[in-house]
Structure 1
Amino acid sequence: MSVSTSIKQSNDTEGKPINALRLASIDLLRGLVILIMMLDHVRERFFMHTSTGDPIHDTVAPELYFTRYITHLCAPIFIFLAGISAWLYAHPANGNYRSPTSFLFKRGMVLIFIEVVFYYLLWIDTIATTIWLQVLWAIGVSMICLSLVCHLNYWLIGSIGLAIVFGHNALTPIEFAPDEFGYTLWSILHDQNNIGEVGGLTIRASYPVLPWIGVILLGYFTGPLFEEKITVASRRKTLIITGVICLLTLLILRGFNIYGETLPWSVQDTVIDTVRSFLNFSKYPPSLDYLLITLSTGLFLLAWFDSLRSQNFFLKILKVYGSVPMFAYLVHLYTLLVAYWVLYLFFGPTHGERFGLSGVWQIWVGAIVLTLMLYYPSKLFSSYKHKEKYRKPWLSYL
């Protein structure tokens, strides 16, 4: 879901309402998430010979551990921003409310379709018998759920989101056997399991959606912070204070192993291993601790982007990718697929039956090359999208 930044700009002062810049900060953060996602997918495509696990295995080398850890930011921040964007859609700058129900429902269905069809085709060589319902599925289902509750009282929406995010870890002991009533629904909501078969293909819910529904509701609840009447100083203060509260909550809950993560931490032989133990959180489904550290980081980044008053090339890259997230998502995945098979044809299998990179630094180089390679195509498409989106509504899906 993209938010247009092509809105008439007001004077750029710290104490006055800002319109274009409040939306630019969202696009910048969304663009950063896309770049981090590219890093993760380079790792997935070219470093499959080393499994990271969930939580990350304690045997994983530090450089791979933190490379994987950085990518934890992607899903929580993106879904949180989707909630903010939904609120901005419902409350445009002209002040006339418009229901986001149809908007959210249709986009949610499109994302699920893309997940089931296009993502399956990407990995048909290795997972030909399984359809993995992953991040687009989670975003799509979350959007559909938000479309159903967006007309509830604003404070009730925020309360439900908060209750889900903070309370879902208490549901961990609940389990269903495959032959029990409720197994499929619970697998979709909270447990990572196979949920059925279609045409000989096993369907697996990799991203249990309940916590993500809570995240998008909290994003929607945060939306009014980006109203035109809110000053930059006030918004940044609220973002930073909320981020600090999240971190303090994390330090208390995690520090004393009270609640929020199934796997407790402990002091290890080295400082770096102790830090890794403390920070090692579950993603499938995302634990409370996982969401506290990733969403607080997102809040700090939003506050930082909101403070920027000039652009450099890096920020231009972020803004371009943030304006066409779905286009960038699909194009970079298929670019990596082509790159993989080209390298495989030239060098053959280097790790078992697959081609793989030999060092973690090569993952980073690959992500940088991919970012630069797709920048101008994304920029051209972004310009085309903003020129034609009112005449061609399908462009809004990209």
Structure 2
Amino acid sequence: MVTNKRVASIDVMRGLVMMIMMVDHVRETFFLRFQVSDPMNAADTDPWLFFSRIAAHFCAPMFVFLTGLSAWLYAHPAGGERSPAGFLFKRGLFLIVLEICVLSVAWSGRIPPPTIYLQVIWVIGLAMIALALLYRLPRGVLVALGLVIVFGHNALTPIIFLPGEAGYIPWTILHDRGFLVAEGALKIKVSYPLLPWIGVIVLGYAAGPWYASATAPEQRRRLLACAGLLALVLFAVLRGLNIYGETLPWQEGEDALHTAMSVLNVTKYPPSLAFLLLTLGLGLLLLALLERRDNVLLRICATFGAAPMFYYLLHLFVLLAMQAAAVAWWGANHGGRYEFESLWQVWATTLLLIPLLYWPCRAFGNFKRRTGMGWVRYL
């Protein structure tokens, strides 16, 4: 049987990365005039802005990895096994439709939105559909497949298709972000290419047996810690020597801080090998530590992590409403938007929003545990 404590550690981790994600989304709502490229310009980007963005890098990899891990737990409930294919496929389609029809409105505040950005929810949906097709493979094959994709996709970077060429659309969806529809009243852009995320969700599913009843807690923590340390060692070697796994080599900066920023300045779209080794390595170490911790902050994280999609939808529409209210109250001060003057206001707003969103997320989590309505599982 998978104990509540084990599941709680997953919810805590999921909730923690979602709270960190809030910082980046507040930044995009109220600090948008200070754009950050991918990868960033380490020499010119303010260090506080740089590290705020770096913190947000951990969200998508851990969330996709935990999606695969949660799929394994769904497939192996107490007392037996069941196929996750139907749930993964239906949930994946639901997330894709949600990204196109709802989240694009939440980001733009317009119906219809001028551009539909296919972002993290879309790619999680596609990755779930891919996992629905792959999960029956032997665990060893899944591990090998996940590692080949994560480690090998950077070798595909030189492959480029131009708009209008036969391979452009599938390659844009799989590996190179770009516009699927670049002209007209409604544009569609792929922000999160799919291929690397298939590798991450497959590795998450393959890690599921670490949370089986036959795995002792100390063994599980040891496995998580060893995997995390190995990933960080590989990151240090490959990135430190500029060997492979990142399109932008690091360079010595004007001081130690800017040199460190250059080393950590890894590519997110699509996630480079260096990006995934760094984020998943630290994330796995944190997962190992979380099982031995219990305090008020972690219980708050678990509350958010138990209602992830509800939280995601809620916080985006709250931010949309806040932007509209700020323009109405104080007026637009940067184009048609109201924006903060300092980055500390982004962090302060995030810290204020977390307790405000806690209570509705807690109420929904309690409702989800009590209700027999099947659709609630999708939120």
What is the TM-score normalised by the length of structure 1?
Answer: 0.92
Does the Cα contact within 8 Å between 2:221 and 2:288 map onto a contact in 1? yes
Does the Cα contact within 8 Å between 2:13 and 2:287 map onto a contact in 1? yes
SS at match of 1:307: coil
Which amino acid in 2 is paired with 1:316? Answer: R
| Between 247-256 and 191-200, the greater mean CA deviation after superposition | 191-200
Is 1:179 aligned to residue 164 of structure 2? yes
Q: Which runs of 5+ in 1 are unaligned?
A: 1-6, 8-17
Give deviations 1:160-192, integer Å, cap 9, x for gaps. 111000000000000011121111000000001
Give deviations 1:335-378, integer Å, cap 9, x for gaps. 11111111111111122331101111111111111111011111
Aligned-residue CA RMSD (Å): 1.4
Number of equivalenced pairs: 377
Is 1:397 aligned to residue 378 of structure 2? yes
SS at match of 2:57: helix
Does the Cα contact within 8 Å between 2:172 and 2:193 map onto a contact in 1? yes
Distance 2:29 2:57 in 1: 17
Which residue of the other structure, out of 90, 94, 97, is the alignment partner of 1:113? 97
Q: Tell me the CA shift for residue 149 of structure 1.
A: 0.9
Is 1:365 aligned to residue 348 of structure 2? yes
Distance 1:199 1:145 in 2: 31
Is 1:324 aligned to residue 307 of structure 2? yes
Which amino acid in 1 is paired with 2:375? Answer: W
Is 1:139 aligned to residue 124 of structure 2? yes
| 1:190 alignment counterpart | 175
| Between 40-49 and 164-173, the greater mean CA deviation after superposition | 40-49
Is 1:47 aligned to residue 28 of structure 2? no
| 1:208 alignment counterpart | 193
Is 1:378 aligned to residue 361 of structure 2? yes
Which residue of the other structure, out of 18, 27, 43, is the alignment partner of 1:34? 18
Which amino acid in 2 is paired with 1:382? Answer: G
Distance 1:153 1:123 in 2: 40
Distance 1:332 1:119 in 2: 11
Q: Tell me the CA shift for residue 199 of structure 1.
A: 7.8
Give deviations 1:125-158, integer Å, cap 9, x for gaps. 5793211000001100000000011111121111
| Between 196-205 and 184-193, the greater mean CA deviation after superposition | 196-205
| 1:313 alignment counterpart | 296
| 1:245 alignment counterpart | 230
Does the Cα contact within 8 Å between 2:131 and 2:201 map onto a contact in 1? yes
SS at match of 1:88: helix
Which amino acid in 2 is paired with 1:274? Answer: T
Distance 2:108 2:318 in 1: 15
| 1:159 alignment counterpart | 144
Distance 2:101 2:353 in 1: 23
Distance 1:336 1:275 in 2: 32
Q: Tell me the CA shift for residue 119 of structure 1.
A: 1.4
Is 1:90 aligned to residue 75 of structure 2? yes
SS at match of 2:180: strand
Runs of 4+ in 1 over 2 A off after TM superposition: 123-129, 196-200
Query: Structure 1 residues 115 and 235, CA, compared in 2 at 3 Å: closer, same or farther?
Result: same
| 1:344 alignment counterpart | 327
Which amino acid in 1 is paired with 2:122? Answer: W
Which amino acid in 2 is paired with 1:21? Answer: K
Give deviations 1:371-394, integer Å, cap 9, x for gaps. 110111111111011000xx2001
Q: Tell me the CA shift for residue 57 of structure 1.
A: 2.1
Which amino acid in 1 is paired with 2:256? Answer: V
